[in-house]
Amino acid sequence: MQKDYQRLTTIEIPVGDIPVGGTNPIRIQSMTNTFTMDTEATVAQAIRLFDAGCDYVRITAQGPKEASNLKAIKEELHLRGYTKPLIADIHYSPKAAEIAAAVVEKVRINPGNYIGPHMGKITYTDKEYREELEIIYDHIKPLLEICRQYGTALRIGSNHGSLSKRILSRYGDTPEGMVASAIEFIEICEDLDFDHIVLSMKSSNPRIMIEANRLLAMTMLKRGKVYPVHLGVTEAGDGEDGRIKSAAGIGALLAEGIGDTIRVSLTEEPEAEIPVASILKEMTSVFPLNPLAFGLKNYRYENFQKEKFVSNEIHEIGGMNPPLVIGQTSSADIVILSDLPFRTHQIHTQSFPSHLEIARLQEELPIVIHSDHPRELIALRAAVIHLRNQGMNQPIIIKRSSYEAKPEKFITESAAVMGPAFQEGLGQAIWLENPKLKPEQLVNISFSILQSVKARISRTEYIACPSCGRTLFNIQPTLRSIKERTSHLKGLTIAVMGCIVNGPGEMAGADYGYVGAGRGKITLYKGHAPVKRNIPEEMAVDELIDLIRQNGDWIEP
C-alpha cells in the first residue's frame, strides 16, 4: 500500500549543528534589521529571534567590513550561550562572501548579482554567454574552497526581479529564468565537487514563487539530485496582508511536500515573523497526505497551475465573473442572512472524494465544497477534478469553517488553504465561517486572500521589504503612513523598499516605488524608472503623492 505522501525527498545538508533537508524538521529562520556594524544591537536582536523559535538567523553583509564584523557578533552570541547557526546575506561582493564563509555556518548568494551588476547590456551571443559563465566559475571557486574548509553551507537564492542580464536575455524575468540561474550555479558547484547547497526561488508575487518552486522541484528530480529548498515570499508587507501573502505562497508548497526551511518576511520587527512561520510548520503535521488516496493519479508539481476549472455562470457566480466573497455583512458580494439566497449542493470533502454523490447533482445549482481541516487543499483539488471529469460545470463555492479564536492562526491557516485553491482557479466564490471572529473580519480576510494570489483585485497592492542592515530609513512607520494615504487607490501597486540592492528589481510589477537611496534619502520610481532622486525622508511621502497625482493615478479619498 502507498504510504502517506511525504515531503520531497532532499539530501541532508549540515548547517552548523542544525542540519536541513532529509528527514529533519522544517527549519524556521528570520533576518536581523539592525546595522551589521552595530554588534550589540545585532546580537540582542539575534537573541530575541532565537528565543522566539528561530533555528537560523540571517545577517546582511553588504561588504567586506560588515562580513568581518560577523566574527564579533558570533563570538558575543557564543559568550551569551547562543550557538545556533548564523547565515550571511551577500549581494554583489564575492570578497564579502569569502570572509563570511570562514565565520558563519551558511552563506546566501544571489546568482543574479554575485559577480556584480551588468548595466546596459541586453543581448548576449552564445560566446558571450559562455564567457560570463567562465567568469562566474572563477569567482565562485575561492568561495567554495573556503566553504569546504570550514564546513559552511551555501544557499543559492534566485529572486524574481534580480536575475542577471545574461539570464534575462535568454529566459526573461520568468520562473524558468529563476530556475536556470540556480541550476547554472549548481552545475559549477558540482563540477568543483561541492554539494552543501540549499536553494530558494523567491518573489513578492506568490503565484510566481509557487510556479518557480514547482519547476525547481521537477528540474531537480529530473537531474537526479534534490537539494533542500528554502521557501519565502519576499516583500510581503505587514499586518494581515503580509501574513496572508506569505501563507498563500509557503502554504501551497508545503502542502505539496516542497520546503525544508521557511521564512515569513514581514515589514515588522523580525520576531513577529516566527509565530506565523510556526503555524505553517505545524500545518505540515496534518498535510500533505497521499495524493493517490484522493484519486490524483497524475500528482506532479508541474500540473497544478494547469488544472483550471471553467464553470457556467449561475446567480452571477462563475463564468467570466471574478471570484465572489460570501459573508454576513453588506461589504460582501453575497450576503448570508440565514442561508444562501438560492439553493446549493453542499459537499464535505472527505478522505475519498470518489464518495461524492455526483449522480444527483443538478446543473442549475452551484456547488459548495465545505472544508474544515487544514489538510483540505489536496482534497479540494481532488473534488474539483472529480467534478470536472464527470462533466459538472457548475460554479464552485469553497467554504472553510473554523472555531479558531486566535486571528493570526485562523488567517494563516485559511490563506494557506484558500490562497492556493483560488490561485489555481478551483473556486468561483470564497466563504469563510468562524463564530469567533466578526463577520467584517471574515469578509476582509476573504478579499485579502483573493488579492494575494491575484485572483481578484479589490484594493491597493503593497510590496514592502522586511528591511535589514542595508536599510537607512525607518521603513515600518513609512509603510504605515503610505498605506494611510493611498489605501483607497484600488488597483494601484506601490512598493516600499529598504535599499537599492534588491529594491528596484524586486518591486517588479509596481506602479510606483519608494526606495531607500542613502541615509535618510529616498528615490521615487514610476514603474522601473527612477524619477526623483535623493529626496529627504521627511518630504518623500508627500513627493510620492505628488508623483501619483502628476501621472493621473490619484483619486480623492
Calculate what percentage of the chain has a pLDDT beyond 70. Answer: 86
Residues in the chain, total:
557
Pairing of strands 493-497, 512-518: parallel
The set of cell numbers assigned to 548 is 501619483
Mean pLDDT of the 173-184 span = 95
Tell me whether domains 27-272 and 461-550 share a fold. no
Q: What is the pLDDT of residue 116?
A: 62
Reported as a single tens digit per residue, the pLDDT across 8-36 is 899 999 999 999 999 999 999 999 999 99
Fold of 461-550: Sulfite Reductase Hemoprotein; domain 1 (3.30.413)
Q: How confident is the model at residue 222 (pLDDT cuts 50, 70, 90)?
A: very high
CB of 230 closer than 8 Å to CB of 199 = yes
Angle between helices 239-255 and 273-283 (to 10 degrees): 30
Helical segments of 398-524, H only: 407-423, 439-452, 475-486, 503-506
Distance, CA of 374 to CA of 413 (rounded, Å): 6
Mean pLDDT of the 529-556 span = 93
Question: Domain map of the chain by residue range?
Answer: 27-272, 294-452, 461-550
Q: What is the pLDDT of residue 361?
A: 55
Say if residue 267's pLDDT is above 80: yes
Say if residue 141's pLDDT is above 90: yes
Bridge partners of 157, per DSSP, are 200
Mean pLDDT of the 501-526 span = 82
Reported as a single tens digit per residue, the pLDDT across 242-254 is 999 999 999 999 9
The set of cell numbers assigned to 129 is 554567454
Bridge partners of 56, per DSSP, are 29
Distance, CA of 451 to CA of 458 (rounded, Å): 7
- The pTM score is 0.90
Query: Which of 214-228, 287-301, 502-516 has the highest mean predicted lDDT (pLDDT)?
Result: 214-228
HSE toward the beta carbon, residue 453, CA cutoff 13 A:
31
Q: What is the pLDDT of residue 146?
A: 98
Q: What is the pLDDT of residue 210?
A: 93
Rg of the chain in Å (alpha carbons): 24
Q: What is the pLDDT of residue 388?
A: 77
Query: When comparing pLDDT for 122 and 240, which is higher?
Result: 240
Ranges 406-415, 422-431, 480-489, 511-520: which has the least confidence: 511-520
The set of cell numbers assigned to 191 is 563540477
Query: When comparing pLDDT for 545 and 62, which is higher?
Result: 545
Ranges 155-164, 222-231, 344-353, 463-472: which has the least confidence: 344-353
Say if residue 328's pLDDT is above 90: no
Query: When comparing pLDDT for 528 and 310, which is higher?
Result: 528
Query: When comparing pLDDT for 134 and 92, which is higher?
Result: 134
Say if residue 410's pLDDT is above 90: yes
Say if residue 288's pLDDT is above 70: no
Taking Cα atoms as reference points, which of 489, 471, 460, 466 lies closest to residue 549? Answer: 489
Phi then psi dihedrals of residue 444, to 5 deg: -65, -40
Phi then psi dihedrals of residue 432, to 5 deg: -100, 135
Q: What is the pLDDT of residue 34?
A: 94
Ranges 75-89, 358-372, 499-513: which has the least confidence: 358-372
Bridge partners of 433, per DSSP, are 401
Fold of 27-272: TIM Barrel (3.20.20)
Q: What is the pLDDT of residue 211?
A: 92
Q: How confident is the model at residue 500 (pLDDT cuts 50, 70, 90)?
A: low
Q: What is the pLDDT of residue 351?
A: 42
Reduce the DSSP state of residue 379 to 3 states and report it.
helix
Q: What is the pLDDT of residue 140?
A: 94
Pairing of strands 521-526, 529-536: antiparallel
Average pLDDT of the chain is 86
Q: How confident is the model at residue 1 (pLDDT cuts 50, 70, 90)?
A: very low
CB of 445 closer than 8 Å to CB of 247 = no
Mean pLDDT of the 286-311 span = 53
HSE toward the beta carbon, residue 103, CA cutoff 13 A:
26
Pairing of strands 229-231, 261-262: parallel
499 Cβ contact list (under 8 Å, min separation 6): 468, 470, 471, 472, 515, 516
Q: What is the pLDDT of residue 250?
A: 96
Query: When comparing pLDDT for 148 and 342, which is higher?
Result: 148
Mean pLDDT of the 279-303 span = 60
177 Cβ contact list (under 8 Å, min separation 6): 163, 167, 168, 170, 171
Q: Residues 514, 519, 521, 523: is their CA dihedral positive or negative?
A: negative
Q: What is the pLDDT of residue 295?
A: 46
Q: What is the pLDDT of residue 44?
A: 98
Reported as a single tens digit per residue, the pLDDT across 337-392 is 555 545 555 555 444 444 455 545 556 778 888 876 656 777 777 778 778 777 78
Q: What is the pLDDT of residue 373?
A: 63
Ranges 231-240, 300-309, 430-439: which has the least confidence: 300-309
Q: Enter the DSSP assignment of 312.
A: -
